[in-house]
Amino acid sequence: MLRFLSVQNFALIDRLEVEFGPGLNLITGETGSGKSIVVDAVGLLLGSRASQDMIREGSKRARLEGLFQLSQDHPALALLADAGIELESDRQLVVRREISVSGNNKVFVNGVLATQGFLAELGNLVADIHGQHEQQHLLHPRTHLRFLDAFGRLGPDLHEVSRNHRLWSEARRLLEETVSGEQERLRSLDMLRFQIREIDALELRPGLDRDLVEERSLLASAEKRLQSASQSYDLLYEREDSLLSGLSRVSRSFEELAELDPSRGDAIRRLEEAVLQLQELAFEMRDYADDVESDPQRLEDLESRLAEIQKAQRKYGEDVEAILEYRRKIGLEMEELEAAESRAEELGAQVKELAAEYLQGARRLSSKRKDVAGLLARRMEQELADLAMQKTSFEVDLKTSEEDFSEQGIDRAEFLISPNPGESLKPLGRIASGGELSRVILALKSIVTLEDYPKTLIFDEVDAGIGGRVASVLGEKLSILAQQNQVLCVTHLPQIAARAVHHYHVGKRRRGKRTRVEFHPLDASQRIEELARMLAGKNVTETTLQQAREMIRSAD
């Protein structure tokens, strides 16, 4: 609810501060006293467009501030959280607007600079204003279908239709993407098949490039390896002055030494072991030389294959392992593309199935709406008759087209009304009288509401053209509506004002050469005097005061 309103230099208001309470808040005052200015100020805090003409003459800027208290599960909390605007633990929302003659207008939400568009979205969740100049979302035909469904308790049917529509739309989107991408799919398949053939022709395995490089190195060094091995064999064994021949002479010298000094006998054994190892090494070199082969053709083949692998590395990966991983990925991609054709057939069948399910549910919902539409029209005519609109005709214009479908089904609804006999039914938004429009919306909200959370509802000129018993009925309906919502209502009728939980008086006063609007809450005695003034005008008597007391007691 709106708890506090502060206004400075706005229209005829130089400074105003007022606290509102829960339930029914009534605003009264003489004609032309500026009651609607207060409503306009609240409208700006809810996102209405600002104009420099709203600034009090002689001032450079107007400043408006409102404090709203949100309920624990209020949907505005999610909107604020998404915008990164934090609230205190008591969920208080502070909105401030500044209107400057320079055109540098500002909007602040809990101290955070915001846009007028964001404020309008937020304000739509917080409050509704119903008056002569407001074009609220309740007047838009897209809202009328929601009221019809809420009145008929068709939520479960609508949920099923909306769900089927989303599933159907998603399947259609996937099918369109699949079909529209056919040429691209075929081009991609050709490219992937070429790449796979090119990679497979290399017959790669992990580490192959390293093995081929090693083999190429050996073949390229065949002549040098043969020369080194043969030379090693000659030096160790084959030549007359070979190392092993020299060691034979060393062995004889060791034997002579051992005869002279038996302690050196171990040297002979160690020398013999060395000779045996050198003989084995000499024979290894001989055998190695015999096995060395020069194969120019094999070397050429290796060079060619390594060149092909290097070419593939430049295209597909830095080494053989990376190429093989790329081959695995494009293999999976090719399988998906090859399966796309059958996928399109599956999606086509799925689209038909989901379309049938959607239309079946939408037709069922449409049939129920047709039954409910008549009931809502009759109920609205009864409510409007209670509000001095006895001759009003009300109709729900429900149009059905299976070519025009949405998440709401295959129906479009618009409320039509004819306030006077003989006049044709016209859309609700084209009603000329602000008072009639406010009463229509009050009647509608008395029957059904779209929100499952409390809002601030503001009614201006709702009592235009009525009086007597009808005024009492209107006051009763406002009281009932105020049991679940905070209601702010501008009224000229004492029958309505008598039901106020919080009563405020608006008046004009001259100070010097300037006129200012003053706004005051009324206590119990002041309420009686105000109702007496509303009953008798300036000639307030004890009789009218007593009558005012009786009206307040009866309303309580």
| Token couple for 522 | 């009324």
Half-sphere exposure of 354 (CA within 13 A, CB side): 19
- Looking at residue 64, its pLDDT comes to 94
pLDDT band at 138 (very low <50, low <70, confident <90, very high): low
- Look at residue 382 and tell me whether its pLDDT is greater than 70: yes
- CA–CA distance, 458 with 489 (Å, rounded to integer): 6
- CA–CA distance, 443 with 446 (Å, rounded to integer): 5
Across all residues in the chain, what is the average pLDDT? Answer: 85
- Strand order of the β-sheet with 112-114 is 13-19, 2-10, 61-69, 92-100, 106-109, 112-114
- Look at residue 153 and tell me whether its pLDDT is greater than 70: yes
- Looking at residue 260, its pLDDT comes to 80
Half-sphere exposure of 285 (CA within 13 A, CB side): 19
Per the confidence metrics, is the pTM higher than 0.75?
no
Instruction: Write out pLDDT tens, residues 443-472.
Output: 888 888 777 788 898 888 777 777 777 788
Give the helix/strand (H/E) hosting 227.
Answer: helix 222-233
Instruction: Write out pLDDT tens, residues 41-74.
Output: 998 999 888 888 888 888 899 999 999 999 888 8
Mean pLDDT of 236-264: 80
- Look at residue 156 and tell me whether its pLDDT is greater than 70: yes
Q: What is the 3-state secondary structure (H, E, C) of 189-220?
A: HHHHHHHHHHHHCCCCCCCHHHHHHHHHHHHH
Q: Collapsing DSSP states into helix, strand and coil, what is residue 414?
A: strand
List residues bridging with 443 in a β-sheet. Answer: none
Instruction: Write out pLDDT tens, residues 104-125.
Output: 899 999 989 999 999 988 988 8
- Looking at residue 132, its pLDDT comes to 46
Instruction: Write out pLDDT tens, residues 204-218.
Output: 888 888 888 877 777
- CA–CA distance, 466 with 474 (Å, rounded to integer): 9
Give which of 208, 214, 202 is closest to 299, Cα–Cα.
Answer: 214
